[in-house]
């Protein structure tokens, strides 16, 4: 069975610091794949196995803009960001602008999809499936919205809203970045952006939907279990 190494990086972790860590893990996997390719060409068969990782983290207030995003979707000035103790980072993932902050579970899978299935579309649908299964445990029906990556409630209705944003990057089929599930997030921070560049849909959290604070450790356990199920892997620390 495939193995995924899990690490909880904790709370209040600087976005750039964790981004750099992801880049290190991705580079290690890409380097192994390059060596394996060279061995294959020379007729060797002592191939090395790449490692798969799943990182959990909570960031301080930060807005991140994907490589195809539009800065116009950030509605706040730099001075205002300072007032609300939020930072802004241009990143290299797909997607537009999003928010990370306390009470939000951010997951960064660094997976070599050659160990699974080398299909980015399938990978994104699998990430969505993990979250759909997780919110179902709370009596909530998570859905996909055509052309809009992530997990939503009440798709196609006037009160459609997003519970989980997603954006990834892949190099040589090795992924980085990932998903952000709003558990007990302060949703007012989403008012200062056009989330994911989508103007006509709202953002929500488990806390808002259920009317109570949700133990984030409980949510983490569910996400880990469903990640193992969906990706048919053993997750170990």
* DSSP one-letter string for 179-230: EEEESS--GGGGGGB-GGG-SS-EE--HHHHHTS---HHHHHHHHHHHHHHH
196 catalytic per annotation: yes
Residue 87: which residues within 8 A CB-CB, separation 6 or more? 15, 60, 61, 62, 63, 81
Q: How far is it, in rounded angstroms, from Cα 131 to Cα 164? A: 8
Residue closest to 219 by CA, chosen among 230, 228, 206, 229: 206
- From 57, 164, 166, 196, the catalytic residue: 196
207 within 8 A of 176, measured Cβ to Cβ:
no
The residues carrying an active-site annotation are 196
């Amino acid at each position: 069975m495939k193995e995924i190494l899990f690490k909880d990086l904790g709370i209040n972790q600087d976005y750039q610091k964790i981004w750099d860590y992801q880049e290190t893990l991705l580079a290690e996997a890409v380097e192994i794949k390059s060596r394996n390719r060279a061995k294959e060409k020379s007729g060797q068969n002592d191939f090395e196995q790449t490692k798969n990782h799943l990182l959990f983290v909570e960031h301080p207030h930060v807005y991140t803009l994907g490589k195809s995003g539009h800065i116009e979707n950030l509605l706040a000035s730099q001075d205002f960001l300072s007032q609300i103790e939020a930072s802004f980072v241009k990143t290299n993932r797909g997607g537009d602008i999003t928010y990370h902050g306390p009470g939000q579970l951010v997951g960064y899978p660094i997976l070599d999809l050659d160990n699974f299935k080398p299909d980015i579309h399938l990978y994104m649908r699998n990430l969505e499936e993990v979250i759909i299964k997780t919110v179902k445990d709370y009596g909530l029906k998570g859905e996909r919205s055509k052309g809009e990556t992530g997990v939503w409630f009440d798709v196609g209705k006037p009160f459609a809203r997003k519970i989980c944003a997603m954006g990834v990057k892949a190099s040589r089929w090795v992924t980085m970045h990932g998903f952000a599930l709003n558990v007990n997030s302060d949703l007012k921070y989403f008012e200062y952006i056009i989330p994911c560049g989508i103007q006509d849909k709202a953002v929500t959290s488990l806390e808002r939907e259920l009317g109570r604070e949700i133990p984030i450790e409980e949510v983490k356990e569910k996400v880990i279990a469903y990640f193992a199920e969906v990706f048919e892997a053993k997750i170990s620390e």
